[in-house]
């Protein structure tokens, strides 16, 4: 069974701080997606990384795919209250299906 472990499960920090969320597996993925989910809504895709070592930036968010395509990280610089939400990672497998992490609940306090 393929697993995708996210850490930490919960993170509460002050506005302006930096943070990193991790997504780890022993399996190799064809791609790795990061989503953000707000209460009462479905997940919204933030980014897809497909190449080992790939780094993508979305304003203050930096996403990295591990060289071996088994892990990924999301780094937020100078977090803002608007970054609050549940962050989910999902790994692509050979039959176009996704393996999902359990999520990291992030709270940014003003």
Partner 1 sequence: EAQVTQNPRYLITVTGKKLTVTCSQNMNHEYMSWYRQDPGLGLRQIYYSMNVEVTDKGDVPEGYKVSRKEKRNFPLILESPSPNQTSLYFCASQRGPTDTQYFGPGTRLTVL
Q: Which residues bind partner 1 (CB under 8 A)?
A: 4, 9, 31, 40-45, 48, 88, 90, 92, 96-98, 100-103
Those residues whose C-beta lies under 8 Å from the C-beta of residue 2, and which sit 6 or more positions away, are 25, 27, 91, 93, 99
SS3 22: strand
Least spacing, CB of residue 4 vs partner 1, in Å:
8
Which CB atom, from 19 or from 102, has the smaller least distance to partner 1?
Answer: 102
Please check whether residue 81 is in contact with residue 15, taking contact to mean a CB–CB distance below 8 angstroms. yes
Alpha-carbon gap, residue 83 to 63, rounded angstroms: 15
Least spacing, CB of residue 15 vs partner 1, in Å:
27
Which CB atom, from 96 or from 110, has the smaller least distance to partner 1?
Answer: 96
Which CB atom, from 37 or from 62, has the smaller least distance to partner 1?
Answer: 37
């Amino acid at each position: 069974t393929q697993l995708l472990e996210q850490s930490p499960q919960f993170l509460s920090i002050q506005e302006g701080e930096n943070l990193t969320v991790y997504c780890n597996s022993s399996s190799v993925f064809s791609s790795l997606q990061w989503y953000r989910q707000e209460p009462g809504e479905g997940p919204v895709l933030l980014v897809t990384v497909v190449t080992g070592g790939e780094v993508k930036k979305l304003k203050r968010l930096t996403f990295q795919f591990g060289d071996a395509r088994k892990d990924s990280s999301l780094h937020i610089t100078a977090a803002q209250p608007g970054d609050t939400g549940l962050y989910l990672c999902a790994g692509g497998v050979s039959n176009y299906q996704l393996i999902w992490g359990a999520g990291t609940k992030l709270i940014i306090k003003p």
